[in-house]
Amino acid sequence: MFRAIFTNSFGILFSRILGFLRDMLQASILGANIYTDIFIVAFKLPNLFRRIFAEGAFTQSFLPSFTHSRHKGLFAAAVFVRFLLFLLFFALIVTLFDRGFTKLIAWGFDEATIQAAAPLVALNFYYLLLIFIVTFMAALLQYKNHFATTAFATALLNIALISALLLGKGLPKEVLVWYLSVAVIAGGLMQVAVHMIAIKKLGLDRLILGGLRRFRKKRALIAADQKRFTATFFASVAGSSTAQISAFLDGWLASFLAAGSISYLYYANRIFQFPLALFAIATSVAIFPKVTRYLKNEDETRALEMLTKSFWFLSALLLAATLTGIIFSHEIVWLLYERGAFVRSDTDRTAVILSMYLIGLIPFGIAKIFSLWLYATHRQKEAAKISGIALGVNILLSLTLIMPLGAAGLALASSLSGLVLLTLTLRAFGKAKFYAIIRDKYALYILCGGWVLAIILLQIKELLSGYL
């Protein structure tokens, strides 16, 4: 288990280091202004779907169904063809109605800004088509307990974007955002290529091609598998996307605030996503295939043992990340971003927003691993209901806190919705099972929780005193 976690974590770490280098260059060259906002908005829609696909919904519904299927090649081929055709059609619709989609995701933009952003939104959306192919192949690799390719391949997108920034340095900013958008597509193509190599090395290409050849004549054999997958997929989308939709809503509401607000939220959320991906997502990806197999074989004891080890391991890491991030929020933002066009006032505002996001790190991270139990037992609809409630709380809190706290209020609302998500997820997992996990260290957990809360409240009070 830990070997797979460390493989995922190291790959994510490598990618995120390159990601921060990319953000440093982007902040230095573009700064926090309307051009940065345009690119962030253009990349927002495909990036939202990428996170939902790659970090949740598709794998959480595909792997259990694939594991149970007696005709795995046929089932994989059917899912691949269906999704590919749908996403291609969706991409063409976005291309034809690019202004409408741009208006939808950045309602506060004026007409001139929408005009500039619309073609970039259409171009960036084709990245979603590529990342689905990557996610599909990654799920098959996970079934074979191969994680390294997917973990390290995410760095290729950052390499492409860094190259675009270096090549476009000195050019007008409206030209540079086009360089970045082309680099997004190039990065997606490179990710597809390395996954195809891994698929071929493990012999999975024969499984896929065999399924495609027999698909027309024998697809009736997988009717029940497809029905099970379809029933769980859309519920998985809702159930695994609370954090991503929260960030998307933050950006949408921030488009009504002062110029640069979208960029502050983006840069802060990028830092927040680092420990979330490095620890929580890496852990959930590593343990999900095994938990699914254990529960399929009715070996709940071993599944709970794996979940217990993961919980304590992840709790310690997220606790350390939360405290470090909040206490040193200003220093972290200064180190990563404050240079060139990104000035001290940008650092101050981004640091406050980062602290607000980090309040939700532990809830979102812990909820991630316990939700796996629901997905592995085909309770996607229950997970979706929980996610919907948390999202509703987030929307209400965002509308309430945006006026007194601005962009920082949007980040705080997202974190508070994470607490709701965790509470409801643990209730669905089972109070008795969760108490059995923490029983031996219950007092220690309460003590640490109170200590962390006190530090967070003091730090937030100090930050807000200079922000408002």
**pLDDT tens digits for 59-95?**
777 777 777 777 787 888 888 888 888 889 988 998 8
- H or E stretch including 169? none
Dihedral of CA atoms 388, 392, 397, 402 in degrees, nearest 10, equals 100
Q: pTM, whole model, 2 decimals?
A: 0.68
Question: For 158-167, 236-245, 356-365, which range has the lowest pLDDT when averaged over its residues?
Answer: 236-245
Average pLDDT, the chain: 79
Q: How long, in residues, is the chain?
A: 468
Residue closest to 58 by CA, chosen among 151, 7, 133:
133
Residue 320 has pLDDT above 80, yes or no: yes
What letter represents residue 291's amino acid? Answer: V
Task: Give the model's pLDDT for residue 32.
Answer: 60
Give the per-residue pLDDT at 306: 85
| C-beta of residue 425 within 8 angstroms of C-beta of residue 370 | yes
Distance CA 275, CA 286 (A): 16
What pLDDT is recorded for position 309? 85
Q: What is the pLDDT of residue 424?
A: 93
Residue 194 has pLDDT above 90, yes or no: yes
Phi, psi of 377 (to 5 degrees): -100, 20
Name every residue whose Cβ is closer than 8 Å to that of residue 376 and which is 6 or more positions away in sequence.
64, 288, 291, 292, 295, 303
- Predicted local distance difference test score (pLDDT) of residue 448: 63
| Residue 190: predicted pLDDT | 94
Cα–Cα distance measured from residue 102 to residue 42, given in angstroms and rounded to the nearest whole number: 8
3-state helix, strand, coil split of the chain in percent (to 5) is: 90, 0, 10
Q: What is the dihedral of CA 453, 366, 22, 56, to 10 degrees?
A: -150
8 Å CB contact between 270 and 44: no
- Cβ(173)–Cβ(115) under 8 Å? no
| Residue 447 pLDDT exceeds 60 | no
Please compute the mean of the pLDDT values over residues 235-261 and round it to a whole number: 69
Please give the pLDDT value at position 299.
80
pLDDT in tens, 337-377: 877 667 788 888 888 889 889 988 989 999 988 988 888 78
Instruction: Confirm if 280 and 365 have CB atoms less than 8 A apart.
Output: yes
- The token pair that represents 439 in the structure block: 């029983």
> Between 212 and 181, whose confidence is greater?
181
